[in-house]
Amino acid sequence: MAKKGRLSRIARITGVSSRVGGSWLGQKVKGAFQGAKERAQSEREVQVRGAREVVKTMGALKGAAMKVGQSLAQVAEGMDLPEDVAGALRELNDKAEPVPFEIVREDIELELEAPIDELFSWIDPAPLGTASLAQAHAARLPDGTEVVVKVLHRQIEDAVAADLFALRSMFVTGRLMNRSKAELVDIFDEIEARLSEELDYYQEAANIEELSRVLARFEGLSVPKTHPKWCTERVLTMDRLPGMPLSEFRQKGSKEARDRAARTIAESFHYQLFEARVLHADPHEGNYLFTEDGAVALLDFGCVKRFDEFWMADYATLVQNAFAGRRAETLDGLRSIGGLTSTSPGAEDVAWEIIWVICQPFLAGEVTLGGPEDRVIDDLQALMPRYLLHRSVRVPKEMVYVHRTLTGVYSLGRRLGATADWGAIATRSHDKAIAQARGA
């Protein structure tokens, strides 16, 4: 990425930051003459306008800005943002204009140090997909194995670094999320760490191998095999797995098949998080394929989060206390992991109410996600005005991708209309996390 282009991108994002910050400064002056209700409404309007302006800028810049923005939007799903702000961020998508195959061919040959006709018996010049960081092509190895070849875009590392720097400055100072500076710094630290791993295909190949072992116990859950001779830091070659996207599976899969798929995803999520402590943390629908009988294939292992066993035991204990309705113990646990930084009665009330709402699908036996008994989304939205008043209720760094992934798994279950005893699935893993930390 040329220095001029990098500076131009930073300047464009910084310009938006100045405008958004100016809007907040103006509102702060105006708010001194408004009543509490009118001031809250005005601040919400400024926040939404700012979010939409940022989305417009990131969408125009494409490339790394789009990926950083999408990562932020996905993390925001786990932050219980107001729907109008989260909705603006969700307008970002990780699609990009295809890179000409001549460039991709040059990059593959440079990385793998051989002519492409020797490396593959066939490779499709038309990409399977082009995202902000990379492009993927279907191919066939000389022995006939069907594979997918992912190739990082040229100079994408510089673009990500420039855009992340500018967007970090904008979100931390522009109050787009109306959260504390410390919380936003933690969030951007996590996004930066995961993005740096997504730019290293040796790391992603290692993630695939690790999660292949972790998830081998789940019948009906597939992970692609990597092919090391065709892998470098910038090229990743793995098996092409069969299956249909979620939209097609929703139409073709029976209720029994959809329930089976959702249970597999939920069980594997809880096992990864609480027992193996290594989590595939990118659970949007494009990273899953389904067969008609409900088997699931998991894709894209660039974003994987690992956890300390003692932190996980503390988190599991917090969740167990919440399931049991033990408010005081739950709030003490939330403080111990940095999710609550005050003893304000108002902050404690809203923190407990948010936790209690999230617990509901786990407490009622068999529940159909998205069904009439599932009120999680409506109830959380009703709590948002109060949540935004209390910055001491926050998402600590270790929980950023936990919440993101839980939200994604829940959203998949809702789209599938899945029915299960979600509490029974979760509780088994909580017990094991606590036992592991105690040496049992």
| Residue 225 belongs to some domain of the structure | no
* Confidence at 391, pLDDT banded by 50, 70, 90: confident
Kindly write down the DSSP assignment for every residue of 309-338, as one continuous string: HHHHHHHHHHHHHHHTT-HHHHHHHHHHTT
* Confidence at 385, pLDDT banded by 50, 70, 90: confident
Q: Quote the CA–CA distance of 336 and 315 in Å, as a whole number.
A: 9
Domain shared by 297 and 176, yes or no: no
**Which residues, 6+ apart, have CB-to-CB distance to 18 below 8 Å?**
none
Per-residue DSSP letter, 100: P
| Residue 109 belongs to some domain of the structure | no
Report pLDDT for 359.
96
Angle (CA) 6-170-389 rounded to 5° is 165
Q: Quote the CA–CA distance of 365 and 202 in Å, as a whole number.
A: 43
Q: Quote the CA–CA distance of 410 and 370 in Å, as a whole number.
A: 9
Domain shared by 365 and 256, yes or no: yes
Model confidence over 136-151: pLDDT tens digits?
999 999 999 999 999 9
What H or E segment, with its residue span, contains residue 238? strand 235-239
Of the three residues 141, 171, 196, the one that is the final residue of a domain is: 196
Model confidence over 193-213: pLDDT tens digits?
888 889 999 999 999 999 999
Helix, strand, coil content of the chain in percent (nearest 5):
60, 10, 25
| Residue 9 belongs to some domain of the structure | yes
Domain shared by 184 and 276, yes or no: no
| Residue 132 belongs to some domain of the structure | no
**Which residues, 6+ apart, have CB-to-CB distance to 234 below 8 Å?**
107, 111, 151, 152, 201
Report pLDDT for 63.
54
Block residue for tokens 């027992």: 275
Domain shared by 189 and 248, yes or no: no
Residue percentage of the chain with pLDDT more than 70: 75
Domain shared by 247 and 312, yes or no: yes
Residues 82-93, mean pLDDT to the nearest whole number: 57
| Residue 206 belongs to some domain of the structure | no
**CB 323: neighbour CB atoms within 10 A?**
18
> Cβ distance 361 to 405 under 8 Å?
no
> Exposed e or buried b for every residue in 56-69, given b needs 16+ CB within 10 A?
ebbeebebbbbbbb
**Angle between helix 327-336 and helix 309-323 axes, rounded to 10 deg:** 160
Domain shared by 177 and 271, yes or no: no
Q: Given phi > 0 = left and psi -120 to 50 = alpha, else beta, which region is 30?
A: alpha
Domain shared by 246 and 188, yes or no: no
Q: Quote the CA–CA distance of 184 and 276 in Å, as a whole number.
A: 28
* Confidence at 24, pLDDT banded by 50, 70, 90: very low
Domain shared by 365 and 252, yes or no: yes
| Residue 84 belongs to some domain of the structure | yes
Domain shared by 43 and 163, yes or no: yes
Q: Quote the CA–CA distance of 439 and 159 in Å, as a whole number.
A: 45
Query: In angstroms, how far is the first alpha carbon of the chain from the final one?
Result: 52
| Residue 37 belongs to some domain of the structure | yes
Report pLDDT for 22.
45
Find the range with the poorest average confidence among 12-26, 64-78, 410-424: 12-26
Q: How many domains does the chain have?
A: 2
The two tokens of residue 433 are 């996390």
Residue 65 pLDDT > 50, yes or no? yes
Domain that includes residue 78, residue range: 3-94+157-196
| Residue 219 belongs to some domain of the structure | no
Domain shared by 309 and 388, yes or no: yes
Domain shared by 419 and 336, yes or no: yes
Find the range with the poorest average confidence among 82-96, 214-228, 333-347: 82-96
Of the three residues 165, 196, 227, the one that is the final residue of a domain is: 196
Domain shared by 410 and 314, yes or no: yes
Of the three residues 171, 196, 221, the one that is the final residue of a domain is: 196
